[in-house]
């Protein structure tokens, strides 16, 4: 079974964190994809990450793989995650589906930005707002 199909059929970290430290939502209306990521941060690390999504097989697989990639990483390390990292974790995705990986990363970055705004740490280890764009 491909890793994409495995993450779709058996998604990791589904659901939502009660009282999250950060919430990020990304959507792509033409493709009807919506991703919601919630995070809990402890001692500068992503201690827990959960997601809800509506979309295609690759969208579900992308955000599921993302949660495995960033859980327990430092916030700064999680910010460095790229769509290519997700595609690699999935064993590759078709070029026309890379936008699903981009949406997953976007939702994570929005959740981290939300965490930064709630805790007054928009600088996020000297990387500034540009790290979130």
**Is the predicted pLDDT of residue 132 greater than 70, yes or no?**
no
pLDDT exceeding 90 applies to what percent of the chain? 83
* Structure confidence at residue 126 (pLDDT): 46
CB 108 within 8 A of CB 78: yes
pLDDT digits (tens, 9 = 90+) for 104-126: 999 999 999 999 999 887 555 44
Distance CA 76, CA 45 (A): 9
pLDDT exceeding 70 applies to what percent of the chain? 91
pLDDT digits (tens, 9 = 90+) for 21-34: 999 999 998 889 99
DSSP class of 56: -
Cα separations in angstroms, 127 against 1, 32, 34, 71, 113:
39, 32, 27, 20, 12
CB 21 within 8 A of CB 40: yes
The gap from C-alpha 29 to its chain's centroid, in whole angstroms, comes to 18
The whole-model pTM stands at 0.89
Beta-bridged to residue 46, according to DSSP, are 41
pLDDT digits (tens, 9 = 90+) for 57-102: 999 999 999 999 999 999 999 999 999 999 999 999 999 999 999 9
- Enumerate domains of the chain plus CATH numbers: 3-132 (3.90.1010.10)
**Is the predicted pLDDT of residue 54 greater than 90, yes or no?**
yes
* Structure confidence at residue 122 (pLDDT): 59
Distance CA 124, CA 3 (A): 32
Distance CA 67, CA 48 (A): 9
* Structure confidence at residue 31 (pLDDT): 80
CA angle 50, 53, 58 (to 5 degrees): 105
């Amino acid at each position: 079974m491909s890793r994409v199909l495995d993450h779709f059929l058996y998604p990791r970290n589904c659901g939502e964190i009660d009282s999250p430290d950060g919430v990020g939502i990304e959507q792509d209306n033409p493709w009807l994809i919506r991703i919601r990521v919630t995070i809990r941060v402890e001692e500068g690390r992503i201690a827990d990450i959960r997601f809800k999504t509506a979309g295609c097989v690759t969208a579900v697989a992308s955000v599921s793989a993302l949660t495995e990639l960033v859980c327990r990483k430092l916030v700064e390390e999680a910010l460095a995650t790229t769509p290519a990292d997700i595609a690699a974790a999935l064993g590759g995705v078709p070029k026309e589906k890379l936008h699903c990986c981009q949406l997953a990363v976007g939702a994570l970055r929005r959740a981290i930005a939300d965490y930064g705004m709630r805790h007054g740490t928009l600088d996020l280890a000297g990387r500034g707002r540009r790290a979130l764009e």
